[in-house]
Amino acid sequence: MRIGYPRILMAMVLALSHLLFVITVERAVAETYDFKIDEFESKPFEWSGYAEVKYEHLNLDKESAFYGLNFYNDPRDTLNRSTGTMQLELGYKKGLAAFNTVLNARAAVDDLGGSDRADVFEAKLSLKPTPSVTVDLGKKVFKWGKGYAWNPVGFINRPKDPNNPEDSLEGYLGVGIDLIKSFSGPLQTLALTAVLLPVWTDVNGDFGKKDHVNFAAKLYLLYRDTDIDLMAFVGDSRSTRFGIDFSRNLATNFEIHAEYAYLTDLEQKYLTEAGLVATRRRSVSQYLLGLRYLTKNDITTIFEYYHNGAGFTKSELDRFYELVDDANQQFITTGSDNFFQSARTISRMGYSAPQAGRNYLYLKISQKEPFDILYFTPGIIGIFNIDDASYSLSPEMLYTGFTNWEIRVRYTYLGGSRFTEFKEKQNQHKAELRVRFFF
C-alpha cells in the first residue's frame, strides 16, 4: 500500500525530536522511590510500538558485480538513504480469547528516489481453553530453530538478515494449534505445534507454489535440561523437509546449539559451465553448529558455522560474476545492456540472496557495559564465506541509557578478492545510524 513517504518521515522526525526533549527534561527531575501498582494493572486493550529513523551512507564499489547491475546506467560514488519506520502492536483480550496484531509502515528516501509500504506483520485470534491448549487463527510469525544468524530448520520462517537477526519480520496466514504437557522427571516438557498454511494468489503468495495447503509440525522436548525440536514440512508449495535441533547449557556461561535439515527434491535454477540457465532437482542437507559464551567481564561471543546445501558452489557464483563482468564490457564497448538485463533476471534466481554460497562462519563479540558505562554495548559482527574467503565486518555501538530510546551506530566493511561474494556486493563501506523510540 503506497502512502506519502515525505510526510511520514517528517512527522516521525518531529515526534522523535519532541520526545527526546521530554526525556531530557525528565532526567533532570529529582529521584524518589515510588511504585504505583495501579498503572500496571492488566487491561483488556493494550498497545505499544516503536518509531525508528535510520540513516545509511554507502561508499559504492564501482568494480563490483552488484554495482554494475544496479548502477550501470546511473554511475555514482556514494548512496545516502534515510528510512523511517513505525511499528504498532495492538492487543485485546477477553476471557479465553485474545487478538493481537502488529502493523508496520516504513518509508525510504535515497539519492535515486523514494519508496514506502505498510504491512500487517501479524494479526491473529488466539483461543486458550486451558494453559495446555492454544488455537491460533490468522497471520503469525514463526521463528523455528536455535541458530542466532541462520535457521536451516525454519521451514515456515521468513529468512532473517544475519546482520540484524532481531528485526521484526512478517508472518504467514494459517491455522495452528499448540499443545503443552509438563512432567516431573528427565522429560520436563513435551509440546506439539501444528500449522496449516495455505498458499493462494492473495494468501501467502510469496511462500511457494500456489493453490496448495501445506502442513508443518514441530515437537519440542525439554529432556535432561536439553531443548530438542523435531520438525517436518509436507505440502506442494515447497518440497518435503525434515529437521532436528537442540540447545543446551554446558555451563552457566556456555551454551551450545545445532540444527540439521534435510530438504528433499529441491528445485533450483543455476548457471551451467556453458553459461546457460538450467534446472536441477536434488535433496540437500543444511546444518548449523553454534555456541554462546559469556566471560567474567561480560563479553558475549556467539559463533556459528552454517552449511547451506542449497547454496551455490564457488564456481557457480564465479560464473555469475563473470557474466556480469561480460555485461559490463559489452555496455562499455557497445552501449548495449542486453547482458545486464539477462544478468538481472538470473540474479533473482538466488544469486542475489544474502548468503548465496555454501559454507559460512558467523561471529559476534559484544561487551556489556565496559568501563562501568551503564547501558553501553560495543560489539563487532563478522560473517565469512569460507569457500571464497570473502567477509563482512561490522563494528557497532549500542546505547540504551535514555529510557525507551535505543541508539545504534554501525560501520560495515566488505572484503575479499575479485569474484568473491562479499567483494561483489554493491558497496565496500557502509556507515549507519539508527535511532529507535519505543512507546
Partner 1 sequence: MISNKSVRSHLMVFVVLLTAVLFLSAPASALDGNAILLEVDRNLQPEAYEMYRKLINIEPNGTKKEYVLYTVKKGQDKMVALFLSPASEKGRATLRLGDNMWLYIPNVGKPIRITSLQSVVGGVFNNSDILRLDYGAEYNAVILEDKEDSYVLECKAKTATVAYDRLKMVVDKKTMVPVTIECFAASGMLIKTLYYKNIKKFGDNLMRPSVLETDSPLYKGYKSVMLYAKINTKKLADEVFTLNYLPRVNELR
**Which residue ranges make up the site for partner 1 (CB under 8 A)?**
27, 31, 33, 35, 37, 40-42, 46, 48, 50, 89, 91, 93, 98, 126, 128, 130-132, 134, 141-145, 148, 165-169, 178, 180-182, 188-189, 191, 193, 220, 222, 225, 227, 247-249, 251-253, 255, 257, 292, 294, 298, 300, 368-369, 372, 374-375, 400-401, 403-406, 438-439
User: What distance in Å separates the CA atoms of residue 115 and residue 396, rounded to the nearest whole number?
Assistant: 27
Residue labelled with grid coordinates 556461561: 253
Residue 144: half-sphere exposure toward Cβ, Cα within 13 Å: 29
Nearer to partner 1, 207 or 320 (CB): 207
User: What distance in Å separates the CA atoms of residue 249 and residue 139, rounded to the nearest whole number?
Assistant: 33
Tell the smallest beta-carbon distance from residue 301 to partner 1 (Å): 12
Nearer to partner 1, 377 or 420 (CB): 377
**Is the CB of residue 312 less than 8 Å from the CB of residue 363?**
no
Tell the smallest beta-carbon distance from residue 85 to partner 1 (Å): 12
Nearer to partner 1, 145 or 162 (CB): 145
In the numeric block, which cell numbers belong to residue 286?
A: 543444511
Nearer to partner 1, 232 or 294 (CB): 294
Measuring CA to CA, how many Å separate 221 from each of 120, 132, 216, 243, 312? 32, 15, 17, 14, 34
Q: Strand ranges (DSSP E) for 131-186?
A: 133-140, 172-182
Nearer to partner 1, 3 or 97 (CB): 97
Nearer to partner 1, 1 or 37 (CB): 37
Tell the smallest beta-carbon distance from residue 215 to partner 1 (Å): 19
Nearer to partner 1, 59 or 404 (CB): 404
Nearer to partner 1, 38 or 206 (CB): 38
Measuring CA to CA, how many Å separate 256 from each of 189, 240, 304? 20, 28, 10
Tell the smallest beta-carbon distance from residue 77 to partner 1 (Å): 35
Q: At what angle do helices 314-334 and 338-346 cross, to 10 degrees?
A: 160
Q: Which residues pair with 396 in a beta bridge?
A: 379, 410
User: What distance in Å separates the CA atoms of residue 176 and residue 348, rounded to the nearest whole number?
Assistant: 32
User: What distance in Å separates the CA atoms of residue 70 and residue 77, rounded to the nearest whole number?
Assistant: 13
Radius of gyration of the chain (CA): 24
The total number of residues written for the chain in this structure: 439
Give every CB contact of residue 206 below 8 A, 6+ residues apart in sequence.
none
Residue labelled with grid coordinates 564456481: 315
Nearer to partner 1, 46 or 111 (CB): 46
Tell the smallest beta-carbon distance from residue 45 to partner 1 (Å): 13
Cα 435–Cα 154–Cα 363 angle in degrees, nearest 5: 55
Tell the smallest beta-carbon distance from residue 23 to partner 1 (Å): 11
Nearer to partner 1, 126 or 420 (CB): 126
Tell the smallest beta-carbon distance from residue 332 to partner 1 (Å): 45
Tell the smallest beta-carbon distance from residue 99 to partner 1 (Å): 12
Give every CB contact of residue 350 below 8 A, 6+ residues apart in sequence.
268, 269, 270, 312, 356
Tell the smallest beta-carbon distance from residue 244 to partner 1 (Å): 16
Nearer to partner 1, 151 or 308 (CB): 151
Tell the smallest beta-carbon distance from residue 378 to partner 1 (Å): 14
Tell the smallest beta-carbon distance from residue 86 to partner 1 (Å): 14
- What percent of the residues of the chain are helix, what percent strand, and what percent coil, each to the nearest 5? 15, 50, 30
Q: Strand ranges (DSSP E) for 254-341?
A: 254-271, 277-294, 299-308
